[in-house]
Structure 1
Amino acid sequence: MKRMTERAETHEPAEPPDAPDAGHARAGAGARAGAGITEVHDMAWPGEARAAAGCAALLLAVALAVDTADGGTTPLGAVGWIGLAALLFVILLPARVSAGPDRLTVRGLWARRSVRTDRLVSVRWSNGVAQHLVLRDADGGHVELDPRVLVANPPLWRLVDAAARVSDERGSLLCGGTALKQVRQRIDRETAENVFKVSGL
């Protein structure tokens, strides 16, 4: 009997493992949610930046070649041509646009601006010959961009459009329905034209 009791004691069931800490579980869920957030960039920007650099380099090369053929380039003249080429590069280099699920960012050569696209208060067209889209959020942020960037990058536009609809549903978007509708129509028209071109119609 004593021997049976000892065996029963040695084979007691192990205690169940501790339940995972609730804080760790929430952190893991947050990490998984954050992992799904992506940022979309303007796919045409690298090519446009190379083109701007190429134009500036070509101007510099031609200017120095003309000066050399005309009797030689002076140090002051070379500095002047380099400055002119640099100015041309700055003028031609477009802003780099990127978007996340709730943010639109425009990076220029000297400045970086962003807006919360899920907290927009206005979307309007800028004044001037080359119309740009100006977006402002409830936190005071604003960006200005060429709408052709949105037309040329459907994934980027979808992020902006989805967040703008959230702003509209929340009631924070007081002005901008017309501008957004015009962009949507333009993108739909461009998409239809591309489909017809690909299909040969």
Structure 2
Amino acid sequence: MDRRFPQAAPGAQGAGAAPAGPCAHDVHWAAETRSATGVAFLLFTALFAVDAGSGSLDVTRGVLWTGLAGLLFAILLPRRVSVRPGLLSTRGLLTTDTVRTDALVSVHWPDGVAQRMVLRDAQGNRVEIDPTVLARNPAMWRLFDTDSRTSIRRGTLRRGTNALRQLARRIDRETARTVFKVSGLQ
């Protein structure tokens, strides 16, 4: 066993014990969760009101509308992303995925409509995140960037350095744009 990359405890998911240090969370997650809740509740209310207004509301249809609103909520609910030194974790309704960011072996964007970044570490763990989460959370980006540079220095990151450079340029552009906007220079 390589002591630099601790193994997960038996029965535990993820990429091992979390190193000590600061933890950064997506600061927009709570607002996106409220939006998902609001949209699901709005759909439920509209379906319920239309059925009640037409006189066709019964227990079966009420359960169906509740299930449909619950399904919409589950689809819209964003994954909770957190970064700490050496680890990036995403937590959904039922699962938590974690990668060692200081032992990345690949970073890439799969083809498709959704902009997703897939991270794989030396232990075989895989996490898929929206790169916008890193772009709009400077504390998360700093921790992730530091660890990804560690992966490059160690030689574990064999595939994806160009993807990381593209992401870094994108974040730099957005940061500069924000600074200009806040300072009134835009």
Q: TM-score range by the shorter chain?
A: 0.7 to 0.9
Cα distance in 2 for residues equivalent to 1:84 and 1:70: 19
Cα distance in 2 for partners of 1:58, 1:130 equals 25
Which has more helix, going by share of residues? 1
Provide the residue aligned with 2:87 in structure 1.
103
Quick one: distance in 1 between partners of 2:19 and 2:133?
A: 26
Match of 2:154 in 1: 170
Q: Structure 2 residue aligned with 1:160, among 135, 138, 144? A: 144
* 2:19–2:85 CA contact under 8 A, matched in 1: no
Residue number in structure 1 paired with 2:134: 150
Partner of 2:40: 56
- Give 1:110 deviation, angstroms: 1.6
The higher radius of gyration belongs to 1
Deviation at 1:35, TM superposition (A): 10
> 1:43 aligned to 27, 52, 55, which one?
27
Determine if the alignment matches structure 1 residue 114 to structure 2 residue 98. yes
Aligned length: 168
Where 2:22 maps in the other structure, the secondary structure is coil
Corresponding position of 2:75: 91
Residue of structure 1 equivalent to 2:172: 188
Structure 2 length-normalised TM: 0.87
TM-score after normalising by structure 1: 0.81
Provide the secondary structure at the position in 2 that maps to 1:105: strand
Correspondence list, 1:121-140, <5 A: 121-140=105-124
RMSD (Å) for aligned C-alpha atoms: 1.4
SS in 2 for 1:130: coil
Please give the alpha-carbon distance, in whole angstroms, between the structure 1 residues aligned to 2:125 and 2:109: 16
Offset of residue 199 of structure 1: 1.2
- Match of 1:118, SS? helix
- Partner Cα separation in structure 1 for residue 19 and residue 145 of structure 2: 22
| Range that drifts further, 156-165 or 66-75 | 66-75
- Paired residue for 1:197? 181
Distance 1:35 1:97, change over 3 A: closer
How many percent of aligned residue pairs carry the same amino acid?
Answer: 52
Structure 1, residues 31-51: CA drift from partner, whole Å, max 9, x if none?
Answer: xxx996111100000110011
1:125 and 1:65 map into 2 onto residues whose CA distance is 43
1:172 and 1:63 map into 2 onto residues whose CA distance is: 52
Larger RCO, structure (CA 8 Å, separation 6 or more): 2
Structure 1 unmatched ranges of 5 or more = 1-33
- CA distance in structure 2 between the aligned counterparts of 1:74 and 1:36, rounded to whole angstroms: 54
Bigger shift: residues 126-135 or 142-151: 126-135
- The whole-number CA distance in structure 2 between the counterparts of 1:90 and 1:35 is 31
CA distance in structure 1 between the aligned counterparts of 2:173 and 2:165, rounded to whole angstroms: 12
